[in-house]
């Protein structure tokens, strides 16, 4: 079910991008804003605006459906009931201090003299 919704969602996204790119520029922006285009009539502008609104609605509905379906498979859990992470046991050997810890403690390793 989720795979079908993902495919439908992707098709809606591609169609939405195509419809937005087909719309005539209102000026400003990077384009010249004028001239003849693929769909230049008033009726086509209304059709593209209506298609954009429908595809936008389908986009939001499909996104909400996917999030609802994804939430169904999750089991409720409480962070209070979780156990604390295991601490180091005393049988493990302590890690060797790194260079920064040695410098902070004043136990800097001896450096070979420069030649």
Where do the domains of the chain lie?
A: 1-20+41-74
pLDDT band at 115 (very low <50, low <70, confident <90, very high): low
Each residue of 45-94: pLDDT tens digit? 688 889 999 999 999 999 999 999 988 877 777 778 777 666 656 566 66
Q: Quote the tokens at residue 33.
A: 């804003």
Alpha carbon of 105 to those of 94, 102, 108: distances in Å? Answer: 17, 5, 8
- Give the integer Cα–Cα distance in Å for 31 and 37: 12
């Amino acid at each position: 079910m989720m795979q079908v919704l993902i495919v439908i969602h992707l098709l809606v996204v591609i169609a939405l991008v195509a419809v937005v790119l087909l719309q005539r520029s209102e000026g400003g922006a990077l384009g010249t804003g004028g001239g003849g285009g693929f769909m230049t009539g008033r009726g086509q502008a209304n059709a593209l605006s209506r298609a954009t609104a429908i595809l936008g609605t389908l986009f939001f509905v499909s996104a909400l459906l996917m999030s609802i379906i994804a939430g169904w498979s999750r089991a409720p859990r409480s962070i209070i009931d979780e156990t604390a992470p295991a601490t180091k046991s005393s049988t493990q050997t302590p890690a060797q201090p790194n260079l920064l810890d040695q410098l902070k403690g004043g136990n800097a390793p001896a450096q070979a003299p420069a030649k």
